Amino acid sequence: MEETFYRKKSRRFDIRAGLKKLLRNKTALVLILASLCLGGYFVFGTHGILQRIRLQEQKKELERKIREADEETKSLQSQSKSLENDHKAVEKVARERYGMARKGEKVYKVNKEDH
């Protein structure tokens, strides 16, 4: 006895038929639409994932700026303390920033662009 086995032909998914079937099933349609709306809200909403990513990036940038400001503050505080106690530091700042000189000294300014 010879038996022949047949494979069932695989059905290709027909999009039109699937959409028609979905449109007939109102419950599934409502669930899909509600899921799409909720998904859109969770991704694009004011408290969504994209907004959270933007806020995290802003937080990192602000923390970096705070660190830089703290470093500058410490530097300025140490400079202020040195200016209070050290006359040479005061003289150095007066000469570099304000171009001041002692009596009898001549100040020559050299442009860095010409060098």
Q: What band does 113 get if pLDDT is binned at 50, 70 and 90?
A: confident
Q: What is the pLDDT of residue 42?
A: 84
State the Cα–Cα distance between residues 115 and 112, nearest whole angstrom.
5
Domain membership of residue 32 as a residue range: 14-44
27 backbone dihedrals φ, ψ, rounded to 5°: -65, -45
Buried b (16+ CB within 10 A) or exposed e, 53-90: eeeeeeeeeeeeeeeeeeeeeeeeeeeeeeeeeeeeee
Does one domain contain both 94 and 64?
Answer: yes
Question: What is residue 48's DSSP assignment?
Answer: S
Q: What band does 2 get if pLDDT is binned at 50, 70 and 90?
A: low
- Asked whether residue 114 is assigned to any structural domain, the reply reads no
Average pLDDT over residues 6-28: 77
pLDDT at 101 over 70: yes
Number of domains present in the structure of the chain: 2
